[in-house]
Structures are given as structure tokens and as C-alpha cells.
């Protein structure tokens, strides 16, 4: 409706972000509002309930479209495939209440200030709305809503120091507090009544309420009470679970809101305030021991060490340095001037400051839910809806049942009206059809299966916070794995050191098994070039730094003073196990430190030997380190030596140094000056071993035709070798290395496709390689174009170039891409999304540190970390290896097949009952209340609760269960069993009327003494009393149809209870078999035992024994036919494959379409060639829409480092 309105009625909120929404402006109209209020009253709240379910209808009915500038109501619609609507009210905030502020006041006159942009004149008010805990204010000049609660990002480094370095005034703090709101991540513990109210208003429970009211009107009391009790139990469990999650999340964030912090004010200096009063632009003063950060801030003075485990999952101290003055970049925003390393200056909310080298001051950047921790909490509070075909088909399935019920209603009305029944009776009988055709127990039965699976996963150490995704696990056909900590061991073992000697390398010195390394400059680099700390008497820091430092035998001295402040330098001294000659030196003091940066791929320190020289030491990615060294100090064999070790899966670190002249003032030198003109020292070799579980799991996934992909931040050659060792790249397969020249975003980049040679190590330290190519029919131009014979490998920079300049090549490359190295967290998330666009069901398994974005956007995210950072992942494994992946897929397939079984059973059960009732309606009859009760409660409810108990089959088969309820085998199974049930009931209904003992008036004629067909049931004097107690339901047709339909419900339960290949055989489900056996025994008792009191209660009549055996024979024939059809046709994969080939059917998945096209393309894959982007190629935006928490960036994995 509103989309036709012109002007500024429509805009985008959070453009380019994951939470992007369309927004439409509306103004409430009095007349429309009055009409809607009248509608609420006349409909007894029905219209209000409808508007509760459909907020867009509420807005369209009550409001008229207008410009956003005039709107008092905003309608929001997500731009994803779900198009979820939300109604939000625009509110006015007044800043004039803070005191007499003139519109020309300096605080409001600053044109670059956000406060100036969102404040109207002369009222001094701001129009705001709150969406998913984030506050937005109307920008008067830009005519759009902008996010508040964040510091303006247009400030330069110099402006941040100048404007905020000395703190805010009280007036400015007050204005910012009104507009930006409190600095609090408030997650209220939802009251039970509110949770209960929301749950009861679920459409399913509203339908149940309608059904129960109708049943009470018909005196169907017993089942009504049973449904009420089951619904109350279900609602109570749901409310309890929601309440428990609410309490858990509240406890996760409550420590954030009650922190006392020191703030610098211009008028009063340093003062202590509650953290909820902080605003963007405030200046925090840190120090005095450990403290929790209540906001995101940028460090402007001093240095501190923080623990970011809450956000990254790695409990490793991280050193933060202050934001530079920025005089040389005065015209550029601070993020751009520090683009390579801006996160090194940021302190994130929820992280812990371990040590502060004071005085430490930081400017508040973001508050409340705008912070890194707030973003994490919002991802839990507002998860992205799950787009799974089963759930979409489930809605269509229910709509189909409603359509069938509508046909039955018309039929019922016609029959009863034509026979002159009263209007009230006609309405009740017609409405009955809806409650019969649409099974009220369906959602409960489906939920039961998910709950059982969730419990089984919990026993295996796999915890789930999104139960709906369990079914999605059954469809996974591609798994992305992180490398370090996931496929390989978390820690690194120091293997050895290869020293440089001028233009050549010395022999490798094995540190793991060889003699101690003599003291030298390389040992000095290992002892000083790190970011380790001594905390509580224990050395802590990055595992790589720790292994390197421990190999030297040196120790860190506790140089902290009594007041807890750092000394000016970190002291390291030789220990008992130190190298020969080190003890004579006495130790070193680390004067300056430039911590490791993932963007720069290096770290540097300035170290002073006691009584000796000063040195600059550097370590980092070898290809980066040699760029800072004099060429004459780099051996000629550097590339081949690096290739030699990385191709064997080692992690290689380059070392370099230079000596500083005596008397040089180190503090005055820039990093660029200190890091120039270095001498290359050599290569440090570390070994990262595969976990013992990795290869067997990957082989199991490969056998099940589930594709595995490695996504890592490590060196590409190391990643390729690990992929070969793990079995991701099978022996004999060819590796095509895809490399880009130039940088992303620059004009005319190119991409090179090279066939990578597979080296074979000769005896000794030889780096010679022998190329081995597969011969291909048709000239041997390259690898066999068949799937799986070649694997593309590329790094993050190449991936970004392809994404921006070669979009047409990206899907082709992703189809056979196996190794993605040097990938940043946003690139990992983008890769998962690109694979999803190709119709893959993508799982992501990582350690929760740098993979949080990818874990969140994947169909199924599996975190191997139990840190708080992993809470955004649907699944968390207590066992830190990838064995959880096949287990989750097994359980997911089992749950998915169980869901299909339940859908089919509940559909057929309700249809069987529906057909029986419609047949009896023809004679103005129906089932009795106890007949309904037995079928609904004793049969369907127990079957629904126990059919889901089958465990998963232990073996993963090389095909997946169907993903749709509308798949041909499932539809055919449903239709054939439906026709069989219809045929059985119609046969029984028709044949019973043709029996010689049949009578519409005398219900004892079948068992009377004159009926020779039944000698087993002699007449008794009390039989006439039974005939007189007839409530209108008793008839031969009723007895026959009810017995047939009841037995049929049991038989289809047995037929539909699938076993292999996804679930264990039905006989292993002991509870289900026992329940089915008892139910069958009771039904047989009803069929053959003529007990007058029982028959009177169940509204049954006596029939001849021969007729009862005839019914049993008819049922056995039906069961045999149904079972044969199910096993020989429905479950016959060979038959369906033959039918697909005969009909020419081909999969419509995008990746399979592309696969078929590439198999016919003789020019693919390209080999030994270079593709260049044309100058007029349209550049595609980067990864703005991919989820990436600002703190979810590794300190080891570069944003886009070069490949080797």
C-alpha cells in the first residue's frame, strides 16, 4: 500500500549491513483509528488478534502513508527473503529540559556534531525510534534516521585527541545522555505472565482453544481435558525454557551495567560514576588493577593489556597501544588513517583490562547495544529466521488440510441441511470437520522428536541453543573447517631453526631433539620479540610466543611495583636452562613494543642488553620480514627454502634484527624508522600436528559424499599440505593455485591459474621437486575435468579480487575450491554466504575465535569453544575435535526423517478419521465421543510420543533424506496409503450393508438366535436393554468403519516408522514396539470380545464372527499392500533413479547445474594462464553485509596477506 506513495516515504535503515531493513513512514488517522476500535469490539478481539499476528495490516488499517519526516509510526520490513514486518512508534526527546540552551550554543552549533544534526530548532527536540535495542534519531539535514550511541566516525586522530582528550563538559554529557540513552545492555528477565501471554497467542494454541470450545459444546469432555492438560504442559515447558534462557542471558550481561568507572570532566577533573552514565565522547581513566570495560573505547594515552576471551574465544592477553596524534593525516577519519591496525587501539566492551601502563585514557566510542558485546547479545535476542523447505512445506501442508476440511464442511452442510437438521447442529457438525482434518497434536508431535534428538546430542557433549536447526543438519552437504585448533592441534611444537649466513642458509638446527642452541642474535630475537606477560606468577600470552620463549630457557622477571603499576620496561633474564653464553649477558630490557598485527603480519621490539647494545628485533610472516631487510642479507635460496618447509605443513616465522647506535633516543623514532634496514637472521620452524580424529572423520564425510573445505588464516602452502595430510585433497588429485596480482579495488587486476607441483622429498635436506601430472584423454592439457580430480586453492586477497572484479568466475571456482587461506573473519562469512547462494547446505566448524561470523551465517554453526563468543553459534561441542560433525549430521538426518514420518502419520491419521466421519455423515451418524477419545488419545498421541524414539543409524550413507514434504516419493506414499485407507473404509461401509443380517432398525439382528452365521455369541435377556440404550451413534456402519479406521491408524504407524538407512530399525525402538503391541491387543479385544458394558460405552454393536474375521483379513491385505508399496516402490532408490533418467529430470540446485555446464566446457579449468579484468569492469562492493563483530578478528590471521 505505502509503496505507491512518493517523496521521502520510503528509505533503507542500516544500508549494506546484515540487519538492513526497508522503512516506510505513516501517520495515524483519527477516523481509521476509530473504525478499527469499533472492529476490535464487534469482533470480540478477533481483529486485534489478527493485527497482532500481522503488524503491517495494523499499520495499513490505522494509518495513512506520509514522508518519514512527518511520520509518527514507522513500518519496518527486512530486506531478506523472509520480509518480516515490524511496527515502531516515533517518539520525541527534548534536550531543553537540561537547562536554558540557546540554539546557537557551541554544543549545538558544531556542524560536524551529531547532536547538531538530530536536534530541531527552535524546539531543541530529537525524533527517535528504537529497533532491536538500537536507538536511531532523525538527521534533519540528511533526511534520514541515523544510529546514535556511537561517536562520529568523521573525526580525525588529531580531533579525537583535541576534542575529547580532556573530557566532556557536564552540559555536553547531559545532552548526549538524553539523545544516546544509557550505556546499558539491559536484558530484562521476562515476567512469566508476559511469556505466557505471548505463547498462548500463538496461532496453534488459538486453534486449539477454538477446538476445545467446540468439543465442550458437544460434550466431548474427556479429550478436551486431555488436550488442555497437554497444551498446558507444552506451554509450561516452553515458558520455563524461555524464562531460563532469559535469566541466563541476563546474568551474562548484568555485570556490565553496574561497573564504577573513572571519567575525566573538563570542569571537575577525574570523578567516579556508574558505567550506565557514560556517553560517546567521554574520557575514561583506567588503572589500579584489573577492571571490566563497560563500553567500546579508543585508547588515546598509555598502554594496557586486555583479555578478549569473551569476544574472541581465546584467553590470551592482548596488548593495546594508544591512537597516534595523526598530524600527518589530519584530513582523514581516524579509522582510515589507522586502517591497517586500528583494532590495536580499541578496547571492547566486556573484555577485561589486566594491566594498565599509566596513566591510561580512552575515549568512549560506542555504548549499550552498539558495542561489540551488545552486538553479540542482539544476535542472540534477534536470531535470523531459518529458511528451511521443511518448515515452508509444513505451512503449505496445514493449508492443504484446511482446504480439505473446507470441502468436508461444504459436504456436511449439504447433507445435514437436506435432511432437515437444526441450524445449530449443522454448524457444530461442519466445524467438527475442521478439528478432525487438522490434527491439533501435530506441532506437539514434531516438537517431541526435536526434544528427543536434543537430549541425545546433549549426552554426546553437543549443546544446542537453536533446536529448529537440528533438522537442517540432516541436509548438510558441505562443511567448512577452520584449520588451527579444529583440524590441527591448538598448540604449536617448536621444530627447529634455520639460520641465515649471508647469501646462504646454514643447516637446520632441530630444537626438539638436538643439542641446545648457542647464544646469538636469533636467540635474542626469540627471547625478546614477543608479547608475553607475567600474570599471577605465570607466563601468559600467545601459544606461539610461549613455545618460542620456552625454547630459549629464559625467564620473565616480575618487575611490577607494590602499587600494581608496570615498570617502564619488561625484563627477561637467562634461566637455568638458558643457552651457552647467555648467562654472561645478564638479561635484556624490552624498551618499546609494537605488538603483532594481523594486517601487518609482523611485530617488533626494541631491546637493551644489560651492559651491551640496543637491538631492534622483528618476527612475522617470512615474505613480509624480508621486505624490511637489506637484500644482501637474504639468502638466494629463500623462496625455495620457504617452499620446502611450508609444503610439508610447517608454520614458518621469519626473524630479523638491527643494532642501534649508542646514545640514540629510541622514544623519538617512528616505527618506520626502527623497522628499516634490518639484517635477516633466519627461519623459525614450528610444527602444527593434525588431531588424531581429523583424518578418519574427513574420510567418513567423503564416503558420505559430504564435501569438506578448509578456511584458514594460515599460509596457503601450509594449508595445502595440511589438506593433503588430512585427506581433503586425495592422492593423485591436482591442485590449481589461483593467485591475483594487484590489490582489491585497484583498476585492472589479474588472476593467474597455475598447476601446483607435488613435491617428493628425497633423502636428506633436498628441496628438489618432481612434477607429476595426470594424463587426460584429449591431449594432456591438464587435469581430468571430472569432479574431484582437481582442487582450487586461493588466499583471501585473491578471493576479494574475484569477488569484486571476476564475479562470473567466483561460482565456478567455489564449485571445486578446497583450500581458502589467509582469510579474514568477514571473508570467511562471505565465503559461507556465497556457497549458500549456490544452493549448498553449509555447515561451519571452528573454534569460535575468528569464526563467529561464519558460524552465525552458516546453516549450521558448530563451535568447539565454550567461551562466551561461541554463544552466537547454534551448536557447541564439549569435545574439542571434529567428531561432533558426523554425529550431528547423523542425528540431524534421523530427526529429519522422523519429522517426515510424523507429518505423514498425522496427515494420514487425521484423513482416515476425516473419511470415516464423512462416510457416517451420509447416514447422519458419526463416531461416538469415546470412539474419538480412543483414536485421539490412546492411539495417535501415544504413537506421536514414541515413534520419535528411534536412534540414529551409526553409518552415514552417501545420500541425504529428502528436504521437502512435496518430494515425489513422499507425496506418492501419502497418496497411495490414503487411497488404500479410503478403499478399505468404503468397502467396509458398502459391504456391511449387503450382509444378510444387516438391519438399520434392529441392531441385535446380527447376533440373534436366528442368525446362523454367529454361533459364538448366544442371545441373552439383557440384549434388549442394550438396544434401548442407544445414543444415536450405534450402527453396523459405525462399528465397521470405526474398527477399520482404528486398526488402519496402527498399521500406517508401523509402515511409516522408517528404519535404515537414517534411523535404527523399528524393532530397536522398544517403547514404540511395546506401545504398538498393546494398542493392537486392545483393538483385537474390541474386535472379538463382545462385552456388553464395553460395547455400550464404545457405541459398538455385535457382529457375526465371520464378519469380524473378514474385517481382519481386509486389514491384513491392506497392510501387506502398503508395506510392499513402501519398501518396493517408495524406498527403492534404484527405481527412482531410473525414473529420473527416463523422464530426463535433473537437479535444479545451482551448483549441480553449474557442474553439468562445466563438464561440457573444454576450456575449464584454466591452466597456466592469466585472466585480466577489463578496465570498465564494475567493481562489486566488499563484505559489508557479512556478519563481523568488530572484535572478532584474530591477532594471527591477516586481513589479506600475500601467498607464498
Q: Is pLDDT of 1045 > 90?
A: yes
* Helix (H) / strand (E) containing 200: helix 192-200
Q: What is the pLDDT of residue 683?
A: 92
Q: What is the pLDDT of residue 60?
A: 92
More confident of the two residues 220 and 673 = 673
Least confidently predicted of 382-391, 460-469, 1007-1016: 1007-1016
Least confidently predicted of 88-92, 833-837, 887-891, 963-967: 963-967
Kindly report the number of other CB atoms within 10 A of residue 255's CB atom: 12
- Answer yes or no: 482 catalytic: yes
pTM exceeds 0.75 for this model? yes
Residues 6+ apart with CB under 8 A from 116: 108, 109, 110
Cα 1134 to Cα 278, 1063, 1131, 1137, 1138: the distances in Å are 67, 20, 9, 5, 6
Cell numbers linked to 317: 592477553
Report the distance separating Cα 1024 and Cα 1007, nearest Å: 12
Cα 457 to Cα 88, 745, 951, 957, 1099: the distances in Å are 39, 45, 11, 20, 46
Contact between 857 and 832 (Cβ < 8 Å): yes
More confident of the two residues 562 and 486 = 486
Cell numbers linked to 22: 526497508
Report the distance separating Cα 490 and Cα 538, nearest Å: 20
State what percent of residues in the chain have pLDDT above 90.
21
For cell 555504548, name the residue: 367
- Residue 920, exposed/middle/buried by CB under 10 A (0-12, 13-18, 19+)? buried
- What's the rounded mean pLDDT across residues 482-489? 83
Q: Is pLDDT of 391 > 90?
A: no
Residues 6+ apart with CB under 8 A from 156: 326, 329, 330, 331, 332, 333, 334, 337
Q: What is the pLDDT of residue 739?
A: 87
Q: Identify the band that residue 671 occupies on the pLDDT scale cut at 50, 70 and 90.
A: confident
Residues 6+ apart with CB under 8 A from 406: none
Express each pLDDT in 154-171 by its tens digit. Answer: 788 888 888 888 888 888
Q: What is the pLDDT of residue 1112?
A: 93
Report the distance separating Cα 471 and Cα 899, nearest Å: 8
Express each pLDDT in 1072-1131 by its tens digit. Answer: 999 999 999 999 999 988 888 888 888 888 888 999 999 999 999 999 999 999 888 888
Instruction: Supply φ then ψ for residue 605, to 5 degrees.
Output: -140, 155
Express each pLDDT in 182-219 by its tens digit. Answer: 888 888 888 888 888 888 888 878 888 888 888 888 77
More confident of the two residues 1068 and 350 = 1068
Q: What is the pLDDT of residue 870?
A: 56
Report the distance separating Cα 598 and Cα 1, nearest Å: 49
- What's the rounded mean pLDDT across residues 858-864? 88
Q: Is pLDDT of 370 > 80?
A: yes
Mean pLDDT of the chain: 81
Report the distance separating Cα 421 and Cα 414, nearest Å: 10
- What's the rounded mean pLDDT across residues 655-660? 92
Kindly report the number of other CB atoms within 10 A of residue 878's CB atom: 12
Q: What is the pLDDT of residue 567?
A: 54
Q: What is the pLDDT of residue 618?
A: 94
The beta strands (E) that lie in 289-333 are given as: 291-292, 296-307, 317-320
Sign of CA dihedral 474, 479, 483, 488: positive
Quick check: helix, strand or coil at residue 650? strand
Q: Identify the band that residue 763 occupies on the pLDDT scale cut at 50, 70 and 90.
A: very low
* Helix (H) / strand (E) containing 375: helix 372-381
- What's the rounded mean pLDDT across residues 1038-1044? 93
Q: Is pLDDT of 649 > 80?
A: no
- What's the rounded mean pLDDT across residues 88-103? 72
Catalytic residue among 482, 545, 714, 795: 482
Residues 6+ apart with CB under 8 A from 797: 740, 743, 744, 822, 1200, 1201, 1202, 1203
Q: Identify the band that residue 773 occupies on the pLDDT scale cut at 50, 70 and 90.
A: very low
Report the distance separating Cα 711 and Cα 793, nearest Å: 10
Q: What is the pLDDT of residue 1047?
A: 94
- Residue 121, exposed/middle/buried by CB under 10 A (0-12, 13-18, 19+)? exposed
Q: Identify the band that residue 697 occupies on the pLDDT scale cut at 50, 70 and 90.
A: very high
Report the distance separating Cα 1199 and Cα 713, nearest Å: 8
What is the four-CA torsion angle of 1000, 1002, 1007, 1011, rounded to 10 degrees?
-90
Q: Is pLDDT of 268 > 70?
A: yes
- Residue 167, exposed/middle/buried by CB under 10 A (0-12, 13-18, 19+)? buried
Report the distance separating Cα 634 and Cα 579, nearest Å: 25
Distance of CA 480 to the CA centre of its chain: 13
Quick check: helix, strand or coil at residue 669? coil
Q: Identify the band that residue 1179 occupies on the pLDDT scale cut at 50, 70 and 90.
A: very low
Residues 6+ apart with CB under 8 A from 209: none
Amino acid at each position: 500500500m505505502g509503496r505507491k506513495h512518493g517523496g521521502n516515504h520510503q528509505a533503507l535503515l542500516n544500508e549494506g549491513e546484515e540487519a538492513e531493513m526497508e522503512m516506510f513512514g505513516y501517520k495515524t488517522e483519527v477516523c481509521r483509528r476509530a473504525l478499527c476500535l469499533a472492529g476490535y469490539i464487534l469482533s470480540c478481539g478477533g481483529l486485534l488478534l489478527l493485527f497482532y499476528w500481522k503488524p503491517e495490516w495494523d499499520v495499513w488499517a490505522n494509518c495513512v502513508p506520509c514522508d518519514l519526516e512527518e511520520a509518527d509510526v514507522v513500518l519496518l520490513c527486512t530486506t531478506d527473503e523472509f520480509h518480516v514486518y515490524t511496527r515502531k512508534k516515533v517518539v520525541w526527546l527534548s534536550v531543553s529540559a537540561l537547562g536554558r540552551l540557546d540554539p546557537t550554543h557551541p554544543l549545538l552549533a558544531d556542524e560536524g556534531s551529531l547532536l547538531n544534526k538530530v536536534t530541531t530548532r527552535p524546539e531543541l527536540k530529537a525524533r527517535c525510534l528504537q529497533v532491536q535495542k538500537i536507538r536511531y534519531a532523525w538527521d534533519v539535514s540528511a533526511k534520514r534516521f541515523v544510529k546514535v550511541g556511537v561517536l562520529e566516525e568523521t573525526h580525525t586522530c588529531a580531533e579525537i585527541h583535541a576534542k575529547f582528550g580532556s573530557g566532556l563538559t557536564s552540559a555536553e554529557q547531559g545532552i548526549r545522555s538524553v539523545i544516546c540513552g544509557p550505556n546499558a545492555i539491559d536484558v530484562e528477565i521476562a515476567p512469566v505472565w508476559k511469556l505466557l501471554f505471548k505463547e498462548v497467542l500463538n496461532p496453534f494454541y488459538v486453534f486449539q482453544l477454538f477446538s476445545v470450545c467446540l468439543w465442550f459444546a458437544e460434550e466431548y469432555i474427556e479429550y478436551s481435558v486431555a488436550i488442555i492438560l497437554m497444551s498446558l504442559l507444552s506451554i509450561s515447558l516452553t515458558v520455563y525454557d524461555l524464562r531460563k534462557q532469559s535469566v541466563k542471558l541476563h546474568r551474562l550481561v548484568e555485570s556490565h551495567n553496574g561497573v564504577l568507572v573513572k571519567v575525566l570532566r573538563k570542569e571537575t577533573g577525574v570523578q567516579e560514576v556508574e558505567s550506565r552514565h557514560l556517553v560517546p565522547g567521554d574520557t575514561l581513566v583506567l588503572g589500579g588493577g584489573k577492571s571490566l570495560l563497560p563500553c567500546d573505547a579508543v585508547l588515546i594515552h598509555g598502554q594496557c593489556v586486555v583479555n578478549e576471551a569473551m569476544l574472541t574465544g581465546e584467553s590470551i592477553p592482548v596488548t593495546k597501544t594508544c591512537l597516534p596524534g595523526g598530524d600527518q593525516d589530519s584530513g582523514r577519519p581516524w579509522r582510515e588513517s589507522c586502517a591497517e591496525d586500528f583494532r590495536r587501539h580499541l578496547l571492547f566492551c566486556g573484555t577485561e583490562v589486566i594491566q594498565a601502563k599509566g596513566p591510561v585514557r580512552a575515549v568512549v566510542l560506542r555504548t549499550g547495544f552498539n558495542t561489540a558485546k551488545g552486538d553479540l547479545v542482539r544476535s542472540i535476542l534477534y536470531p535470523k529466521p531459518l529458511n528451511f523447505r521443511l518448515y515452508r512445506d509444513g505451512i503449505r501442508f496445514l493449508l492443504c488440510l484446511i482446504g480439505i476440511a473446507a470441502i468436508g464442511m461444504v459436504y456436511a452442510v449439504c447433507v445435514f441441511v437436506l435432511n432437515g437438521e437444526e441450524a445449530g447442529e449443522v454448524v457444530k457438525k461442519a466445524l467438527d470437520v475442521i478439528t478432525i482434518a487438522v490434527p491439533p497434536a501435530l506441532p506437539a508431535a514434531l516438537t517431541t522428536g526435536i526434544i528427543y534428538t536434543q537430549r541425545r546430542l546433549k549426552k554426546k557433549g553437543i549443546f544446542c541453543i537453536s533446536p529448529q536447526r537440528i533438522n537442517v543438519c540432516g541436509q548438510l552437504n558441505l562443511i567448512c573447517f577452520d584449520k588451527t585448533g579444529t583440524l590441527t592441534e591448538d598448540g604449536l611444537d617448536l621444530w627447529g631453526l634455520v639460520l641465515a649466513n649471508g647469501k646462504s642458509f646454514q643447516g637446520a638446527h632441530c630444537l626438539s631433539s638436538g643439542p641446545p642452541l648457542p647464544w646469538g642474535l636469533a636467540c635474542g630475537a626469540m627471547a625478546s620479540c614477543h608479547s608475553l606477560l607475567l600474570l599471577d606468577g605465570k607466563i601468559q600470552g600467545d601459544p606461539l610466543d610461549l613455545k618460542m620463549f620456552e625454547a630459549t630457557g629464559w625467564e620473565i622477571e616480575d618487575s611490577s611495583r607494590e602499587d600494581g603499576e608496570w615498570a617502564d620496561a619488561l625484563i627477561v633474564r637467562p634461566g637455568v636452562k638458558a643457552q651457552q653464553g647467555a648467562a654472561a649477558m645478564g638479561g635484556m630490557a624490552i624498551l618499546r613494543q609494537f605488538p603483532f598485527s594481523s594486517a601487518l603480519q609482523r611485530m617488533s621490539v626494541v631491546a637493551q642488553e644489560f651492559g651491551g647494545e640496543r637491538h631492534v628485533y622483528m618476527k612475522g610472516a617470512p615474505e613480509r620480514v624480508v621486505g624490511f631487510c637489506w637484500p644482501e642479507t637474504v639468502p638466494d635460496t629463500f623462496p625455495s627454502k620457504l617452499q620446502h618447509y611450508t609444503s610439508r605443513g610447517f608454520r614458518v616465522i621469519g626473524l630479523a634484527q638491527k643494532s642501534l647506535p649508542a646514545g640514540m633516543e629510541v622514544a623519538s623514532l617512528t616505527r618506520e624508522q626502527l623497522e628499516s634496514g634490518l639484517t635477516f637472521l633466519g627461519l623459525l620452524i614450528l610444527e602444527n600436528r593434525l588431531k588424531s580424529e581429523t583424518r578418519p572423520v574427513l574420510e567418513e564425510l567423503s564416503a558420505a559424499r559430504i564435501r569438506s573445505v578448509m578456511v584458514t588464516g594460515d599460509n596457503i602452502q601450509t594449508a595445502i599440505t595440511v589438506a593433503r595430510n588430512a585427506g581433503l585433497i586425495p592422492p593423485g588429485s591436482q591442485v590449481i593455485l589461483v593467485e591475483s596480482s594487484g590489490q582489491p579495488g585497484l583498476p585492472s587486476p589479474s588472476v593467474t591459474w597455475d598447476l601446483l607441483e607435488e613435491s617428493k622429498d628425497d633423502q636428506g635436506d633436498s628441496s628438489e621437486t618432481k612434477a607429476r601430472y595426470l594424463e587426460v584423454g584429449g591431449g594432456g592439457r591438464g587435469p581430468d575435468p571430472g569432479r574431484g580430480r582437481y582442487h582450487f586453492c586461493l588466499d583471501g586477497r585473491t578471493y576479494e579480487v574475484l569477488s569484486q572484479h571476476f564475479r562470473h568466475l567466483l561460482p565456478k571456482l567455489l564449485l571445486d575450491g578446497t583450500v581458502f587461506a589467509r582469510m579474514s573473519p568477514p571473508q570467511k562469512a562471505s565465503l559461507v554466504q556465497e556457497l549458500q547462494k549456490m544452493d549448498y547446505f553449509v555447515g561451519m566448524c571452528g573454534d569460535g575465535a575468528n569464526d563467529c561470523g561464519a558460524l552465525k551465517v552458516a546453516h549450521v554453526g558448530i563451535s568447539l569453544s565454550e567461551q562466551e563468543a561461541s554463544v552466537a553459534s547454534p551448536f557447541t561441542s564439549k569435545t574439542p575435535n571434529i567428531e561432533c560433525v558426523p554425529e550431528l549430521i547423523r542425528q540431524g538426518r534421523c530427526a529429519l526423517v522422523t519429522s517426515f514420518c510424523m507429518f505423514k502419520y498425522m496427515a494420514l491419521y487425521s484423513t482416515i478419521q476425516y473419511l470415516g466421519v464423512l462416510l457416517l455423515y451420509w447416514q447422519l451418524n458419526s463416531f461416538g465421543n469415546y470412539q474419538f477419545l480412543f483414536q485421539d488419545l490412546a492411539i495417535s498421541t501415544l504413537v506421536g510420543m514414541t515413534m520419535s524414539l528411534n536412534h540414529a543409524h551409526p553409518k552415514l550413507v552417501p545420500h541425504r533424506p529428502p528436504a521437502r514434504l512435496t518430494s515425489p516419493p513422499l507425496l506418492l506414499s501419502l497418496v497411495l496409503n490414503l487411497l488404500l485407507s479410503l478403499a478399505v473404509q468404503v468397502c467396509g461401509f458398502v459391504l456391511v450393508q449387503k450382509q444378510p443380517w444387516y438391519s438399520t432398525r434392529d441392531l441385535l439382528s446380527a447376533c440373534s438366535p436366528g442368525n446362523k452365521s454367529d454361533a459364538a455369541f448366544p442371545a441373552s435377556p439383557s440384549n434388549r436393554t442394550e438396544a434401548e440404550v442407544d445414543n444415536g451413534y450405534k450402527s453396523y456402519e459405525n462399528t465397521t468403519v470405526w474398527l477399520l479406521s482404528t486398526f488402519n491408524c496402527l498399521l500406517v504407524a508401523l509402515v511409516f516408522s522408517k528404519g535404515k538407512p537414517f534411523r535404527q530399525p523399528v524393532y530397536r525402538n522398544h517403547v514404540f514396539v511395546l506401545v504398538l503391541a498393546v494398542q493392537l491387543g486392545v483393538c483385537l479385544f474390541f474386535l472379538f470380545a463382545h462385552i456388553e458394558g464395553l460395547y455400550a460405552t464404545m457405541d459398538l454393536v455385535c457382529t457375526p464372527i465371520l464378519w469380524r474375521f473378514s474385517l481382519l483379513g481386509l486389514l491384513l491385505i491392506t497392510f501387506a499392500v502398503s508395506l510392499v508399496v513402501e519398501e518396493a516402490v517408495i524406498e527403492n532408490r534404484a527405481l527412482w533413479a531410473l525414473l529420473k533418467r527416463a523422464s530426463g529430470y535433473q537437479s535444479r540446485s545451482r551448483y549441480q547445474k553449474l557442474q553439468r555446464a562445466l563438464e561440457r566446457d573444454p576450456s575449464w579449468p584454466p591452466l597456466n594462464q592469466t585472466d585480466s579484468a577489463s578496465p570498465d569492469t564494475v567493481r562489486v562492493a566488499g563484505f559489508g553485509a557479512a556478519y563481523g563483530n568488530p572484535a572478532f578478528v584474530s591477532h594471527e590471521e591477516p586481513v589479506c596477506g600475500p601467498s607464498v
